[in-house]
Amino acid sequence: MKIGKYEISPALGLAPMAGVTDKPFRLLCRRMGAGLATSEMTSANPKLRGTRKSAERLDHLGEPGPISVQIAGTEPEQMADFARYNVEHGAGIIDINMGCPAKKVCKAWAGSALMRDEGLVEAILRAVVGAVDIPVTLKIRTGWAADRRNAPLIARIAEDTGIKALAVHGRTRDQKYQGEAEYDTIAAIKQNLSIPVWANGDVDSPEQARYVLDYTRADGLLIGRAAQGRPWIFDEIRHYLDTGEHLPEKSPAEVGAILIEHLEALHAFYGDDRGVRIARKHLGWYAKAHPGSEAFLQMVNRLDGPACQISATRDYFSQVQTGLERAA
């Protein structure tokens, strides 16, 4: 999949998720097969630019290129200025968020709320594309509501304004993450565009990845929630698409080792106290498929120090591995 001068290989991207796709997680997913990992959505509001949260979200030191940064806002010139700011700080791709369904984002008329105003969409896209000399991409949903699936119109505006790739989540804004993603709208958009299209929504297995690519004819897949606690899903999908065969399931020992690597990166990036707290949601995602996870999580989430968190995690996955070997 080609975005501007960049060859994205494999054409499997980590979908940007607020509070999840931070630098430690992006690095891990890239190492485990993602061809692109876009940053968390960051507000274009200049008043927020100096905050700790924005600084952390704009930290890309040591990341493999291309660096894809997602920006959000409602004012064309403000978005253009923030795009320029990110280019100055190493961005290789600017991604515009018009897909976030979160209430607080839409209340400010950002994210997927922008899809209600095609004129404003066009103004933002033209301003950002005209402000930078790197590829600009766009993330949308199928529409604002079930009776207003205007993604095909937004897609045409995107191509006409110079957007280099389009990602479409197969749900409307009012669906949020409920129900099942639909791929008919994505297929119709792909049929009528010449720019690359990412399909997004409910891609949670190698078989589903094959189905969505065949059904929509999309150029690539964005994977979001399915990568939580399972960053190796990119390698699994890539291998299946290439060979038609499945990679072996990760053993508890292998999962534990990947999780500990992730925990150590979180502790180093955020500091001990915040790192331990932020790691708790990841612990839940990694552990949920394993026996005794509920008791483990109740125990480990009461621990405060990073060393204790890592030690308890190592012990738990070691016990799960031992139990599996004895059962065999």
Q: Is 100 a catalytic residue?
A: yes
**216: Cβ contacts below 8 Å, ≥ 6 apart:** 183, 186, 187, 190, 197, 199
* Whole-angstrom distance, CA of residue 326 vs CA of residue 328: 5
Q: What are the DSSP calls for 160-196, one per residue?
A: HTT-SEEEEEEEEGGGTT-S----HHHHHHHHH-SS-
If we measure between CA atoms, which residue out of 320, 145, 324, 29 comes closest to residue 40?
29
Q: What are phi and psi of 266, to 5 degrees?
A: -65, -45
3-state secondary structure of 57: helix
Amino acid code (one letter) for 310 = I
Place of tokens 């690359």: 196
Amino acid code (one letter) for 270 = Y
If we measure between CA atoms, which residue out of 275, 211, 257 comes closest to residue 237?
211
C-beta atoms surrounding 180 within 10 Å: 10
If we measure between CA atoms, which residue out of 167, 41, 186 comes closest to residue 102?
41
Segment (H or E) for 65: none
If we measure between CA atoms, which residue out of 47, 89, 66 comes closest to residue 136?
66
Q: Taking CA 78 as the corner, what is the angle to CA 195 and CA 125, rounded to the nearest 5 degrees?
A: 20
**301: Cβ contacts below 8 Å, ≥ 6 apart:** 280, 283
3-state secondary structure of 2: strand
Q: Mind telling me the catalytic residues?
A: 100
